[in-house]
Amino acid sequence: AAGVIQSPRHLIKEKRETATLKCYPIPRHDTVYWYQQGPGQDPQFLISFYEKMQSDKGSIPDRFSAQQFSDYHSELNMSSLELGDSALYFCASSPGRQGWTEAFFGQGTRLTVV
């Protein structure tokens, strides 16, 4: 079965650089979520999209932005990177809003800022 695909799997950037993470949801899933997981921490919600519109926003820094495109894939853009942005970034998708249906996660993008 198709899963959530994230790219790249690993990314190394220098401070103050920009990074773009991509997420391809499971086919026919119209909701995408982004989470950040620091070392030894539980995943923290960043932002979500439903039918290409932002539906909820969590602890996402102003330096980050995201969007969902017409084909439902999503991109998380991160600018002016800081050392503290080093983390695993997960994307999840679900067929409908998460409260009703099961969420499926991608394997994550490990971002290292040096």
Partner 1 sequence: KQEVTQIPAALSVPEGENLVLNCSFTDSAIYNLQWFRQDPGKGLTSLLLIQSSQREQTSGRLNASLDKSSGRSTLYIAASQPGDSATYLCADPINTGTASKLTFGTGTRLQVTL
By CB under 8 A, residue 95 contacts partner 1: no
Bridging pattern class, strands 87-94 and 31-37: antiparallel
Closer residue to partner 1 (CB): 59 or 80: 59
Alpha-carbon distances of 34 from 12, 14, 67, rounded to whole Å:
19, 22, 11
The token pair that represents 96 in the structure block: 């409908």
Site string for partner 1, 74-93 (x = CB under 8 A): --------------x-x-x-
Which residue's CB is nearer to partner 1, number 40 or number 84? 40
Helix/strand number for the chain, H first, E second:
0, 11
**Which one, 17 or 104, has the nearer CB to partner 1?**
104
Q: Residue 80 CB, nearest distance to partner 1 (Å)?
A: 25
Minimum gap (Å) between residue 17 Cβ and partner 1: 23
| Positions that interact with partner 1 (CB under 8 A) | 33, 35, 41-43, 45, 48, 50, 55-56, 58, 88, 90, 92, 97-100, 102-108, 110
